[in-house]
Amino acid sequence: MRRIYLDNAATTAVHPAVVEAMLPYLTDLYGNASSIHWLGQQSKKAVAKARRQVASLIGADENEIVFASGGTESDNLAVIGVAEAWAEKGRHIVTSSIEHPAVLKACKHLESLGWSVTAVPVSRGGVVDVEEVRMSLRDDTTVVSIMFVNNEIGTVQPIAEIAALVRERRAAGQNHLHLHTDAVQATGKIPVDVRALGVDLLSLSGHKLHAPKGAGALFVRKGVRLAARQFGGHQERGRRPGTESVPMIVALGAACEIAGERLAERAEHTRALRDRLEAGIRERIPNVAFNGDPDSRVAHIANVSFGDVPGEGLLISLDLKGVACATGAACSSGSVEPSHVLVALGIDRDQIHGSLRFSLAESNTVEDIDEALDALEQVISRLRTESGIDTAASAG
């Protein structure tokens, strides 16, 4: 049985060139980047090169990049680090109802310590209303954290417009107000330029763009005060101390360089496959709904609700046919709770339980899509029949 992987928003395969770049630092070049001898200096140079590669992809200066273990640590460092650094100026945070748990749970942690949090709602299409953000801002707001691209439905949020609100407040004297964006699903998929966006902090993760798990970064604009979340050495200017994982950092840098070179090509490829998948679903499977704003989304994610399908059997049945996809965020797998993102969109809970996320990458092919459509049609027809659903009637 051929395996078809359509869960690239959860993680991506490591690019062969990335493996090649990191391999020497797993073997001969094993020095500690903080050591002053020749072996340590080789690692130090490699970390510096990776820092430039990451900075180049997002339009930052290299000294504005803080390496981390991934998106979750980066999000936590941004939200909690800024909140704690500016606590004397205010203890209010604005976020959205569809953020990744790495942001929502960081906010929940701060709430337990006395901060207040406003989670702004989204439209039925899953887009944050800029005016809702404006009305939520207070004089004691120190952090606004709104994701760039949603990981479940792929909607692109109006970050530049929200940044303009933050600049307005700062111009009026609220210098303690900062904007963070979780760009884990955006980086390497769409153009990301921290200057054009106007953000103060931006999180990214390597394993979403063909680097290994365990590598990530946080952009911190020059002048932003950030409290460390862990303590030890001097690494990352004290913001994220600890011996650098040189192989992972090198891998992240290489993946960012490749992503920058292939950004448009990858987006065109995944968009064509996504459109083929969605057109096939519309044509072949009755009673479906597509989640997310069709006019404001990335090319690599499609989220579909299949009505009248027992959700617990859908994903497993597809997996048995060799098709890997997801029912929601990978970090929530195993949970019986419906996706908080789809709940925020106002989708009926029964419909949510029949929802799937398909996410694509450069390695996917037309054959993958066509075979996945065959499997989907067969599985859904069988599940509806076993549930006593008249498929023909559903189509009408």
Neighbouring CB atoms inside 10 A of 343's CB total 15
Q: Which amino acid is at 40?
A: G
Please state, in angstroms and rounded to a whole number, the distance separating the CA atoms of residues 250 and 19: 10
Please state, in angstroms and rounded to a whole number, the distance separating the CA atoms of residues 343 and 352: 8
Neighbouring CB atoms inside 10 A of 52's CB total 16
The SS3 of residue 355 is strand
The SS3 of residue 238 is helix
Please state, in angstroms and rounded to a whole number, the distance separating the CA atoms of residues 110 and 98: 18
User: What residues form DSSP beta bridges with 203?
Assistant: 182, 218
CA 352, 347, 162, 160 torsion-angle sign: positive
User: Does 331 qualify as catalytic in the annotation?
Assistant: yes
Nearest to 365 by CA among 356, 373, 376: 373
The SS3 of residue 363 is coil
Neighbouring CB atoms inside 10 A of 330's CB total 15
Neighbouring CB atoms inside 10 A of 28's CB total 10
Both tokens of residue 156?
Answer: 């692109």
Radius of gyration of the chain (CA): 22
- Which residues are annotated as catalytic? 331
